[in-house]
Structure 1
């Protein structure tokens, strides 16, 4: 993990297309702005993990249904 120190208004570049700007910081909270191409999905980590869990559960349900259908033949 790369750890950087930035002040309000300063920016970090990731590749040619992504910029992360420190909008403000107060107490233990930091607001950031992200500029990225529209085709790049940006999610909070906890939301990303929740989506992954839901997708895994859905695939288990589908596998179970397919198994049940095969048993009917």
Structure 2
């Protein structure tokens, strides 16, 4: 694992196509912005693990209280309760 120190506003470039920007640091929270091609999947670890566990189980997930706007699983878009679809 490569470990780098960065300050707010500084970036890390991955393979000329992905930019990771340190947006802000407040206490123990770091806000990170990621710019990547559409073909590159970028998720928080818990979303990635949840998505893959549902795909592996071949189960139709019910995401109660999910903070993501939408999660795409097996060509099905799930919109958390209280959020409007943007189609």
Q: Is the TM-score greater than 0.5?
A: yes
In structure 2, C-alpha distance between the alignment counterparts of 1:5 and 1:31, rounded to whole Å:
14
- Give 1 or 2: higher helix fraction: 1
- Structure 1 segments, 4+ long, off by >3 Å, are none
Correspondences of 1:42-53 after superposition (within 5 Å): 42-53=42-53
Correspondences of 1:1-73 after superposition (within 5 Å): 1-58=1-58
Deviations 1:28-52 (Å, cap 9, x if unpaired)? Answer: 0000111111111111111110111
For the pair shown, the structure with the greater C-alpha radius of gyration is: 1
Q: Which residue is equivalent to 2:80?
A: none
Unaligned 5+ runs, structure 1: 60-73
Instruction: State the TM-score, normalizing by the size of structure 1.
Output: 0.76
- SS of the residue corresponding to residue 16 of structure 2 reads coil
CA RMSD of aligned residues (A): 1.2
Unaligned 5+ runs, structure 2: 60-87
State the aligned residue count.
Answer: 59
In structure 1, C-alpha distance between the alignment counterparts of 2:56 and 2:38, rounded to whole Å:
26
- SS of the residue corresponding to residue 42 of structure 1 reads coil
